[in-house]
Each structure stands twice: as C-alpha cells, then as structure tokens.
Amino acid sequence: MPRQFFVGGNFKMNGTIKSIKDIISGLNDAKLDGETEVVISPPSLYLLLARENLKKGIEVAAQNVFDKPNGAFTGEISVEQLKDSGITWTILGHSERRTLLAETDDFVASKTKVATDGGLSVILCCGETLEQREAGTTTDVVTSQLKAVADKISDWSKIVIAYEPIWAIGTGKVASTEQAQEVHAAIRKWLSDAVSSDAAEATRILYGGSVSEKNCVELAKQPDIDGFLVGGASLKPAFYDIINAKAGAAKL
C-alpha cells in the first residue's frame, strides 16, 4: 500500500495571534492536494487558536510534550492536556531542542513512548551535524538516535520520522536530492533490520532542512522521501506549493 505523502509546518517560536490567523486563513482557502496529509505546529500558546480556526482535514501538532502525567512540572505540557485540546500530533527530538536544551536520545525516546502510548502521533526528528557528515558517520548517528526509540517501543504506526541534517536547518543549505535519498534509504533499511519489514514499508520518512518551493518537487520524486517537515517556509505562501509537491512530481 502506498505511503501517504505528509507535509508538516513547524512554526518554531514565531507568530502572533494576527499572523497565525492569517496563515490559517490562507491554508483554509488554498487549493491543496487532498491526497497529502498536512499538520501545522504553532507555538504552544497558539495551539487552541489553530485548532479552533483550522478547517477539518488539517491537524495540529505541539512542538514538544513531557514524558510524565499531569503534575508538578513547571513549564511542561502533557499528553492528556494536548488530547483534551484536540491536538493529535507532537514534534519530538528536533535538533534545536537536542542542541539548545541538551535533550538526550534516551529522553526523546521516553517522550516518544509516553506520547504514542497516550494516543498521540509523533513526528520524530533525527539528523547529523556537518562535522559528523564530513566524518562519514551520518548513518551511524541517525540510526543511533532511532535505536533509542526502538529500545522503548515496538509499534511504529503512530510515528513519522523526519530526517533533518542539522547543517541544513535554517541555513539555506540543502542536502542534494541524492544525499537526502541516500539517508532516507538507509533509515528504511535500518527499520527493516531493527524493527520489521512491515514497519519499514509503512513508516513515512520526511526530509527537513531548508525545504522550499524551488526544491520540493525534485525531492518529492525520490522513492524513500515521503514528505517534508518545513520550517521558515511554512510561514509563507510557498507552503502551499510544498504541500502540493507530490502532485507536481506526478505530472513530471
């Protein structure tokens, strides 16, 4: 069964009530490929605003979730609270949180388990630094990050993997089509070997890292690239073109 194309928009720490309402209004009115699953991820302050104003068929993701139930955890947000607010997805393991907040592979894995056990779907991020790529350890780094999750869970049906080379996030640098496809294929092989052939066939693997309307169609043509996790471009009308990339690739 073909994997449904998936495009996520990570707003990061950007937006105001007005700008996010404007983005949502644009998405509600845009002509988007109905075969592509779309999820947007505004800052937590605006999750309810997004869910209440976004049309049916587009889901909302938190940018984080904690690995404990409700309780004395100042500044955190729980699976229960997200579900109570109609939020069905969360992004976990983004390199900015791994780097800036020192989130470890084990912590990301723990949060992934709690999220999926609680019924949330997870966009699970992985990726290497420029130094690691130049050292030839990309596959080892990425699969090590994923192995931490595999050590805690067996059901990958609620997980979408996002491969985001750290050196390409917000830099304007983009992995070549061949580089991206190579890593995606390596991740799929790892899934087959470490989890199951069924998981490898069914799990969607997204590319993230300065995705734009200019490179998305070529990337979408690759056999192991099942969509995108988009950063800055998700705040602009270019996001519509990226959502429609798979349909555009099919015409070529």
Q: Which residues are catalytic?
A: 94, 164
Spatial distance between the Cα atoms of 212 and 188, rounded to a whole number of angstroms: 24
* Interatomic CA distance for residues 121 and 91, integer angstroms: 9
Distances, alpha carbon 239 to alpha carbons 39, 56, 97, 245, in Å: 12, 18, 23, 10
Q: Give the per-residue SS3 of 36-77.
A: CEEEEECCHHHHHHHHHHCCCCEEEEECCCCCCCCCCCCCCC
The answer to whether residues 61 and 91 touch, using CB atoms and an 8 Å cutoff, is yes
